[in-house]
Structure formats: structure tokens, C-alpha cells
Structure 1
Amino acid sequence: MKNIGMPRAQWASRLGFILAAAGSAVGLGNIWKFPYITGNNGGGAFVLVYLGCIAIVGLPIMMAELMIGRHTQRDAVGAFVQLEGKRSFWLSAGWVSVIAAFIICSYYSVVAGWTLDYVYRALIGSFSGEPAEAIESMFGTLIADGPRQLIWQAIFLLLCLGIVIGGVQKGIERWSKILMPILFLLLGLLFINGMLSKGAWEGFAFMFRPDFSKLSAGSVLEALGHSFFTLSLGMAAMITYGSYLNKTEDLLAASLRVVILDTLIALMAGLAIFSVVFSVGMEPAAGPGLVFKTIPVVFSQIPGGALLAIVFFLLLAFAALTSNISLLEAQVAYFIDERGWSRKKATVFLAGLAFVVGIPTALSYNTLADWEVIGERNFFDSADLIASNYLLPIAGLLIALYVGWFWSGSKEKEELVAGGSGWVYPTWHFLIRYVSPLAVAVVLYFKAKESGLFTWLGGWF
């Protein structure tokens, strides 16, 4: 039986929501992906475009998702059932979001397990006194060991389960108030170290001195896509977190706080990383291996590096945890609201299922290395392709189109007025109606083209 009519869980405080939502947005994308894509795309000009994309695409869609959640007080699927009925096409927006959350949760937990493994390595001093080649090879050794990855994945999912099972106030909000300040502290320590290093000015110039000759059309698309991904949009998390919001909360102010915190952390992480990278004469364009290969080498070569390595990988682990909590909660909310399950049953079931579905991810670079799922991609890369390149943009596009064009009765305006931000409605409505959908559609098209989807479909396009 569905839990219709039962009191809705609510955030105990505004700070609790801000920290939980910021924790959802702040993940490995901020501390792992943002620095390396910035390095690959030339630095300052890319950062400038990225900030613009956050403002005109990310922020409007985040507000739209929070609106839907708060207005309906339901999970991502139930929200559209309440708004449009059980047979509406728009339910697909909710379903795509929840499915994306599950897929990402399953493989994200494996990657998060890597961060726990590196925390352990840092604690026992594995990087100290080792040559660069030996340190860089440690990552290859890890991903070649399936059972080891599964152990760390299980530990990580147990941590997520323990938090989500406690509920909104006693679980997610309480732990967000603990984890996020620790995350800020750890990042602050790394940032101060970076700013005191001899590579500080070079890192600062690389991040904030625009060189548009290094900016390509692909760089703009990368910035646009990451501005969407980094805010946890299109994965049911913000709709779910919005459903726990007080009806009088200022959605513009709340969204701005989350966006600013998320962006600030990404920029601080970039500065901290690039400063130490430049201080030892290494290149910033190290690609995805920047965190698990280059950074451990850097820490092995600088004073106090052993301690800094511990701080850095703890930071990664905390960021992964706060982000994955929201992915798990988005799924749990669906089973509680629409299926009438208890929170305990839903959390245990979904965490267990994420572990099982994550097994092929952990085996993608060892036992199942020869299994090509989509094109020449292994299971891990295929799952990431489906979720990141297709499901998230599709969900975001549907939500932007629905709120901008099809949500009847000016309910979106009422939601803004209720919190005292009615004055921003004309600007926001223009962005969510015209700019955001077009931008996400462009990302979706080029991601599909880049990944070979059109070729796979028979060259029709």
C-alpha cells in the first residue's frame, strides 16, 4: 500500500538541507573530474565557460527540480503521478531519473571503494619513498584485483546504508552536518598547502587566466555537460531532497547556496591540486589518472606529503559518501512512497542490489576485461555511458521542458512567490523555457554522436 496521506519527513533546519544538498552535489566530480577536465581543456577559459553554464543551465534546472519535489511532496516518480496522472508521458522523467540514480550508485560505489583503498594505502605509508613508476602502477594493481575492489565497495555501501536507514533528520541531515564540515576542513588544509607551495601562482594563473586559443567547441560542450552533472541533476536526488523542504523556503536562495558551495569546492580543489602539481614540475593535463596516479607521486615528492596524502584521499572518500547517500535516498524514497515499503527494507534491498549490479564493474578490468557490452566498451564504461551521456541529459531535458512549457496553473510561479523570490520569475522562466532545454539537447546530441550511438543505430543520422 502506498504511503499517501502520511506525514512527510522534513529537514529539521535550513542548514541541514543546504549541507545535505551540497553534499549531494559535491562528489568525485568536483575533486576528481573537474580538475582533470580543466587540465585537459587549457584552464582559465574553460573555467569561465563552466561558470557561465552553471549560471544559465545548472541553476535554473536545480530550481525546477526542487520546485517539483516541494510542490508534490513525493519521490521523483510519484511527483509526476501526482502532477499528471499514472498514464502521463511525463512519468518518464521520473523513471529515467530514478533508473539513472540506481545505475550510477552501482558503479559509483566501486569507484568510491578505490578512494577507501587509497586512504588505507596513505595511512600505511605506501607512497613514501617509492619511485614514481611503482606508485603509478598501484592503481593498475588495484583495478586488476576484483575481490579487493568488491570488499571496499561493500564497506562503502554499508556506510551509505547506515546513514540512509536513519531517515531524513536522524540519518542524512545529522551525518551531513558532520561529514560536510569535515570535508570543508580537509579541503581547506589542502588549499592552504597549495597556496603556500611554490607552484601557487602558476596554479592560480592556470585556473583563472583565460586563454581562449586553448578553448575548442569540444571544451564548451565538456563544460556544459559537467555543469549539469556536477549538481546532481537528472538523477532524482534534488526532486527527492526538495520534497523534504518547508513550503516557505526561498528556492532561489537555497539553490544559490548549494550551487555556490559546489562551485567553490570544485575551484578550491582545482587550485589545491594544480598548485602542488606545478610545484614539482609536472603537467596538469594528466587526464583521469590525475588523482590516482599523478597526485600520489606528487605527495611522495614534497615535504609533509605522507600526511597530505591521507588528508586528500579522506577528502575524496567523504565527497563520494555524501554524494552517494543522495543517490540511494532517491531510490529509497520511491519504494517508500510508491510501494509502501519500510525505510529499513528499502534501504537494505537497494544497497544490496547496488552491490550485486556493481560486481561486473569491479570485474571490468580483470575477469570481465574481454566482455564488450556497448561497442568496444567494458561493463563499467558502458554503464557510465548510459547513465551520464544519455539518462541524465534526457531526464534534465524532460524536466526543463515540463516545467517551462507544460506545468499548468502557474504552479512554478507560486513556488517561487511562496519563498519570496517571485521577482526572479521572468528571468528564470525564460532560462528554463528556452536556454536550458536547448543547451541540454545540444549536449545530448553531441554526446550521442561522440559515443557512436547514431552509427550503432545504422547511420540514419
Structure 2
Amino acid sequence: MGSRETWATRLGFILAAIGSAVGLGNVWRFPFITAESGGAAFLVVYLLLVAFIGLPVMLVEFVIGRESKQNVVDAFPAIGYGNWKAIGVIGSITGFIILSYYSVVGGWVIQYIFGSLTGAYTGSAEAYFGQVSSGLNTAGFDLLFILLVAGVVGFGVRDGLERAAKLLVPSVVGLMLFLAVYAATLPGAAEGYAYYLSPNLATLRSDALAILPAAAGQAFFTLSTGVGVMITYGSYLDEDRSLLRDGFVIMLADTCIAVLAGLIVFPVFFAQGIAPGDGGIGATFVSLAGAFTTLPGGRLVGTVFFVILLLAALTSAFSILEVIVSFIIDTTGIARSYATAGSVAGIFIVGLPTAFDLQYLTVYDAIANNVLLLLGGLLLALFGGWVYATDAITEFSKGLTSPQFIPKLWIWVLRVPVVVVLSYVLYQNILDVIQTIQTSLL
């Protein structure tokens, strides 16, 4: 087996990690979850959780990855804690499930790009979504999306992941800024901003606990935390990097792009009199496609928006597939091309039910995002804060230029606030997932 690949530049790593975080979670999932959960009140809780729950757990992943130089499963034995490798197994399974339905949604996006160019959804946005969201055509575009992802991952870390990130991430940001400026000119933009950015403090106090599960799930989904992505990406890092600085930059960039997505979506909603929260998992597609049919220059705006969505989906999917491929390569020693092809075949087969029935997609998302992702995060917090703490501080301190109390503060944040919050959220989400399964499939 050859030597392990590394990032060519710090910028390449940062952009690849941002690309992992900046995916459908920001541009597709974040607006409809925000709308369903109360607008600005949700945004406040979400931002707090990203900073004080998501970032500390992300740093645990970076530390494990950099010290071990291994994939998400073998990382734990490599640092002397083989009895905790179940965390890596859970992360791999979670990523596998997420990518199996994520690629289906990616296929929707490709169809919507064509729909914008041709005006296919002009007659009825809801009917068009029904056509593209399930059936043989959906399975075909699902396969197309996952093959695009495989094409990049197959080229490796430097020639695949890093090059793609350097091209796609700036493109996503530039196009989103263009649409945010456009959205600001729409009538009703002020009402959209008020809904999104002006929290009612009384509502926030009364609903904070109710908002917490959705906000925590979204925070972990958008940061790619709990899946093993950051363990895998961290394993390609050199030891002179400040993990705190890099983690903060990634968190800040991801959060800014998520907020930027809301600055596009909510003015469009209010400009067209669309009630936020309508449409559920298809809200971005049904509501926005309907709005684009009547907005000035709507066909062009719609095309740009769905191109953004596709680029964001690809950058995040690259990272999830890399977790699985990295594990296969390290475990079997087979060529990257074969590992990638085998992974894609399995992911496509597992995701087929979600291509033919939206209820399965809802269930997959509930299990992976609301339970497994948070379970992985909770186990990482317990491991990093209570088991691996001394070694974690040593590894974390390499390249650190900030005050030396920071590593110990990080450990105590993991030990208490992170564990308490994630335990509560996981319990609530398990109850909700049981209800979702009963409603959708039984």
C-alpha cells in the first residue's frame, strides 16, 4: 500500500471542508427547516448550536483524523482506542444512508435546471415536482448525479477533491451573492427579512426547547459532523496546522452561506405571497419554482438558483463518498477506482426506494439525520471529553497560537454542555422518528 495522500495546500483543505459543509443542507434543507421551525427564532438557536455544539465536535474529528492518519473506522485503533471504533462504523453507515437519498435529491436538482431552461414547470410547479420526484426518471437522474460525484472522488485527494473544491466553492458563493442582491430588489423583501432576521424574544424563550432538536440536527447535517468526513479530511492534514483556526474558518463560512441562502429564499417567498413552512421536504422545489415563474427574469433566476443547488450538492457529496472510499482503500488495499465504483453501486441500490417513493426519503432522512448523525456526535463528545481528553489536548495544541487555556476549555465544553444538549435532542428525535416511521410506512 502506498503512502497516504495529503492536501496540496491549506486553501485546498479549507475549501474542501467548506464544500463538504456547504451542500444541500445549506441551500435546500436550511430554508425549509427554518420556515417550519419559526423563522428568526430558529435561526438564533441554530447559530448558537453551530458555534457551541457543532464546532467542538468537529474539532474532535479533526484531532482524531490528524493523529491517526487513518479512515474513519481504523482511526480509533490507530490512536489506541480500538474499543471505540463503533463510532467510525456508525459514521460510515450514516454517510452511506445520507448519500443514498442525497443523490436522489441531487437528481431532482439536475432536472430542475432543465426545467428552468425550458420553462417546464411554468404550468404547475407542484405537478412538475410530482413528475421529477419519483419514478424511473428519478432513478436515472439519481444515477447520473452519483456518477458525477464518483468521477471526482476517483481522481483522489489533490487531483479530485481539492481541484473541484477550488473551482466549485467560489462559484457557489459568487452566484449566491448575485441572487441575494436580486432578491433584495423584490417587493416584499423587507417582510421576508423581518421574518428571517427579527426574532420575537418572547417566542424564543417559550419555544427554545421545541426548536432545539431541529436546530441541532440541521447544525450537524450542514457541518458534516458525526459522519466521519472531518476525521477523513483531518487524516490528510500536516501537523503544523492550527485546527482551531481552520475549524473556525470552516464553521464561519458554512454559517454565512446558510444565512445567505435564507436572504435569497425568504424575500422570494414573501414577494410572491408564499407562506413559509409550506411544502415540507419539497418546499425549495415547489415554492421557489412557482415563484420563479412570475418573477422578473424568473427563468434565468431559476436556472442560476438550481445551478447553485447542484454545485453545493456535489461538493458535499464528494466528502461523504470519500469517507466510504477511504475506508475501503485502507482496509482492502484495492485501487481507488474500484473502491469508488463499488461504493457507488451499493449507494445507488440502497437509495432506490427513495427514488420511487417520497415517504421512504422522509424516513431515511429522519433516521440518518435526526438519530444516527446525532448519536455519532454524542459518542464523539463522550470519547473526546472523557476518554481521549489528555491525548486530544496534546494533538489539538499542535500549531495552536491562541491562549493555552483554550484546549482545556474545549474539553469541558465537550464534557458538559455538548453531552447534555445532544443527549436531550437525541432522546426527543428518537421519539419523533418512531412517529415518522409509523406515519409514513406503517
- TM-score under structure 2 length normalisation: 0.94
Contact 2:363 2:437 in 1 (8 A): no
Structure 1 residues without counterparts, runs of 5 or longer: 366-377, 457-461
- The residue number in structure 2 matching 1:104 is 98
Q: Does 1:245 align with 2:237?
A: yes
- RMSD value, Cα: 1.8
Q: Write out the 4+ residue segments of structure 1 that deviate beyond 6 Å after TM superposition.
A: 453-456
Structure 2 match to 1:182: 171
* Partner Cα separation in structure 2 for residue 390 and residue 222 of structure 1: 11
SS in 1 for 2:4: coil
Report how far residue 103 of structure 1 moved. Answer: 1.1
* Counterpart contact for 1:42–1:211, Cα < 8 Å: no
Q: Partner residue of 1:155?
A: 144
Deviation, 1:224, is 2.1
Matched, 1:319 2:316: no
The residue identity in structure 2 corresponding to 1:347 is T
Where does structure 2 lack aligned partners over 5 or more consecutive residues?
none
- Counterpart in 2 of 1:391? 372
Between the aligned partners of 2:412 and 2:160, the Cα distance in structure 1 is 38
> Matches of 2:164 and 2:331 in 1, distance apart?
26
Q: Does structure 1 residue 124 correspond to structure 2 residue 83?
A: no
CA distance in 1 between partners of 2:299 and 2:210 (Å)? 37
Where is the helix percentage greater, Structure 1 or Structure 2? 2
Cα–Cα, structure 1 residues 309 and 254, in superposed 2: closer, same or farther, change >3 Å?
Answer: same
Secondary structure of the residue aligned to 1:245 is: coil
1:29 is matched with which residue? 25
- For 1:169 and 1:136, locate their aligned partners in 2 and report how far apart those are by CA, in whole Å: 42
Q: Distance in 2 between matches of 1:79 and 1:101?
A: 16
Q: Shift of the alpha carbon at 1:22?
A: 0.8
Q: Taking structure 1 as reference, are residues 453 and 400 closer, same or farther at Cα in structure 2, changes over 3 Å only? A: farther
Looking at structure 2, the residues matched to 340 and 353 of structure 1 have their Cα atoms a distance apart, in angstroms, of: 19
Instruction: Indicate conservation of the 8 Å contact 1:448/1:454, yes or no.
Output: no
Pick one of 239, 243, 248 that aligns with 1:256.
248
Cα distance in 1 between the residues matched to 2:103 and 2:281: 17
TM-score, length of structure 1 as denominator length: 0.90
Q: Does the 8 A contact of 2:21 with 2:224 survive in 1?
A: yes
Distance 2:399 2:380 in 1: 21
Rounded to whole Å, the distance in 1 between the matches of 2:137 and 2:99 is 19
In 2, Cα distance between equivalents of 1:274 and 1:50: 17
Q: Which of 60, 77, 84 is residue 80 of structure 2 equivalent to? A: 84
Aligned identity (percent) is 39
1:85-106 CA distances to partner (integer Å, 9 max, x unpaired)? Answer: 55x1x11001000111111111
Cα distance in 2 for partners of 1:48, 1:307 equals: 32
The Cα of 1:66 is off from its aligned counterpart by 0.7
Match of 1:357 in 2: 350
Amino acid at match of 1:62: M
Out of 224, 229, 238, the residue aligned to residue 216 of structure 2 is 224
CA apart distance, 1:404:
0.6
Q: Give the secondary-structure state (helix, strand or coil) at the position aligned to 2:43.
A: helix
Q: How many residues align?
A: 432
**Preserved contact between residue 109 and residue 310 of structure 2 (Cα < 8 Å):** yes
Match of 2:391 among 411, 423, 439: 411
- Indicate how the Cα distance of structure 1 residues 308 and 454 shifts in structure 2: closer, same or farther if over 3 A, else same: closer
SS in 1 for 2:285: coil
Structure 1 residue 164 and structure 2 residue 168: aligned?
no
Separation in structure 2 between the aligned mates of residue 234 and residue 32 of structure 1, nearest angstrom: 20
Aligned residue in 2 for 1:61 = 57
Question: What is the distance in 2 between the residues matched to 1:394 and 1:136?
Answer: 35
Equivalent residue for 1:433?
415
| 2:99 aligned partner, one-letter code | C
CA, structure 1 residues 404+244, in 2 after alignment: closer, same or farther (shift >3 Å)?
A: same
Deviation of 1:390 (Å)? 2.1
Deviations 1:239-293 (CA, angstroms, capped at 9, x unpaired): 1011111111110110011111111011010011111211222222223332111
The residue that corresponds to 1:372 in the other structure is none
Q: CA deviation at 1:379?
A: 3.2
- Once the 2 structures are TM-superposed, how far is the Cα of residue 380 of structure 1 from its aligned partner? 2.7
The separation in 1 between residues aligned to 2:30 and 2:225, in whole angstroms, is 16
**Aligned-pair distance for 1:454?**
12
Among candidates 168, 183, 203, match of residue 192 of structure 2: 203
Provide closer, same or farther for how the CA distance between residues 381 and 203 of structure 1 changes in structure 2, counting only shifts above 3 A.
closer
Structure 2 residue aligned with 1:452: 434
CA–CA distance in structure 1, aligned partners of residues 32 and 155 of structure 2 = 35
Change (3 A) 1:263 1:454: closer
Q: Name the SS for the 1:241 alignment partner.
A: helix
Structure 1 residue 452 displacement after superposition: 2.6
Q: Residue 41 of structure 1 contacts residue 214 of structure 1 at CA under 8 Å; is this kept in 2?
A: no
